[in-house]
Amino acid sequence: MSGLFRTQEVGSLSRAPFLKRPGSHESAEMALYWGRRLNVEDHELLYRSLRDGSFTQDRLLEWASLYGIRFHEAAGLDVVYDGEQRRVEMYEHLMLRVENAVFLGRVKVWDAETYRKAAVVGVPRLRSSPYLDEFLFVRSKARREVKVPVTGPYTLMDWSYDEFYIARQDRDLTPLERRRRAREELLHDLVENVVRPELKALVEAGARRIQIDEPALTTKPDEVELYVQAFNEMVKGIDATFTLHVCYSDYSKLFPHIAEMRVDEFSIECANRDTLLPGVSDDARKGYSVLRLFREHSIRAKVAPGVTDVHTDFVEPPELVRDRLLYAARVLDDPAKVIACHDCGLRTRRWEVAFEKERALVKGAELARREFTGR
């Protein structure tokens, strides 16, 4: 296991290539190609089942999960998952298993990306586990350390319609105060009845690293302090390493509140706003200026600044990855606090591009490590 600049994935991969048109000649050939390239055990069985049509959807998803695990491992990552191959979408996957969540229709996120949005019509409670079976399969197959990505309660709240809590508020309150209290109550119940029970179940089943995904967190900066309190309550007494992933945000809105957060790692996006220039100067590494805030506020947690941009097919040279990591180590004044990862999940990239980006990530981390260890 690597010491400095450990490498890990953030979450999603695009669907395994053989899932796109299962049963076609192309899907069988993709299963064979990637099975060989990633050294997936018994992949010829998948190839034959796709050729003769004997596959089932459940079995295909198991194969996709295995291919996702081997994808990360073959690239050389230290911490892996399966690329969320069994999940429909991060919000929908969990909310489908929540009592009193009624889906109303699709909304657009960006480009052609959409998700089905739900209305909360009563107290939300977890009806069945969204992640446990998935984790148990990954743990049984993985040869590296595993990190489970979990959609966080703030994003669940912010991306849902509230048709219950707002109606319970005192009519004598101002509209803003009614809304504030409604959101506070909804967030609390999502923590206590939905996310915390799942975290407990995962840890009881053997999970040791859990990533909480909160893409919505900084959209309402006045609620960051509320979220920190909710997060601390959510993880209280749960023995695991917790990562908070917040993508494509104005991270200055997190401060100073996150100094009080009981979290082990922050995973943030930096490469997308950086230059492609070599070196460790401030001008070359503009995308990493936010790291100064982590140092100024004496944040104890480690930081995983993205060093590859997941929204482009450009494959970063390992030397560029190295320079970004070295710059982060310099700004944080401690290389041991820097983790090497992507800006976000790689689901917008083809597997061919995503794999090369991961290899560049691993090679770049190796180069950065040599600067400190000499090997």
Residue 95 has pLDDT above 70, yes or no: yes
**148-151 vs 209-213, strand pairing mode:** parallel
pLDDT at 29: 97
pLDDT at 303: 98
Q: Which residue type does 47 have?
A: Y
Mean pLDDT of 68-92: 96
Report the candidate in 50, 42, 44, 160 with the shortest Cα–Cα distance to residue 96: 160
Q: What is the pLDDT of residues 162-192, one digit of tens each?
A: 999 999 999 999 999 999 999 999 999 999 9
Between CA 125 and CA 131, with CA 126 as vertex, the angle to 5 degrees is 160
The pTM (predicted TM-score) of the whole model is 0.95
pLDDT at 112: 64
pLDDT at 111: 64
Mean pLDDT of 334-356: 97
Residue 65 has pLDDT above 70, yes or no: yes
Q: Which residue type does 231 have?
A: F
* 3-state percent breakdown (helix, strand, coil) of the chain, nearest 5: 50, 15, 35
Contact at 8 Å (CB) between 127 and 97?
yes
Mean pLDDT of 95-111: 88
Contact at 8 Å (CB) between 345 and 84?
yes
148 CB-near residues (< 8 Å, 6+ apart) = 81, 131, 135, 138, 202, 207, 209, 210, 211
Q: What is the mean pLDDT of the chain?
A: 96
pLDDT at 243: 98
Confidence band, pLDDT 50/70/90 cuts, at residue 114: confident
Confidence band, pLDDT 50/70/90 cuts, at residue 1: very low
| 76-373 fold | TIM Barrel (3.20.20)
Chain centroid, CA 42 distance in Å: 29
**145-146 vs 79-80, strand pairing mode:** parallel
